[in-house]
Amino acid sequence: MAQFEVYENRGKNSDIFPYLVDITNNLHSNSKLRVVVPLCSDNYAISKLNPYFSINGKKLYLSTMDIAGVPATILGDSVTTLKEYRSQIIDAIDFLINGF
């Protein structure tokens, strides 16, 4: 598992959040828990808090307010990586926590 990897969501909210972005630092790669931010198609978004990405041809928003710790077992197959968007993801988390 790698930081900023996008996985299929095998959890119970997969209809709302089809994909999860693993934001856990690679130092914790052996942990059974992962910190994730879900992706959703909800079109209500605050640009700095909810940047959007194209995943498999769908416009999906980073649902930063729904950040969570989850068992690694609910992460399905890797579909892509967002590591090139690292700064946007970190900025969204900073905005959630710091408000700027």
Domains belonging to the chain, first-starting first, are 5-98 (2.30.30.110)
Round the average pLDDT of the chain to a whole number and report it.
Answer: 92
Determine the pLDDT at residue 1: 78
Give pLDDT tens digits for 24-66.
998 887 889 999 999 998 777 788 999 999 999 999 999 999 9
Determine the pLDDT at residue 50: 94
pLDDT-derived band at 72 (thresholds 50, 70, 90) equals very high
Cα 19 to Cα 27, 84, 97, distances in angstroms = 22, 17, 22
Determine the pLDDT at residue 34: 96
CB 40 within 8 A of CB 60: yes
- Would you say the pTM of this structure is higher than 0.75? yes
Q: Which of 52, 55, 34 is nearest to 42 (CA)?
A: 52
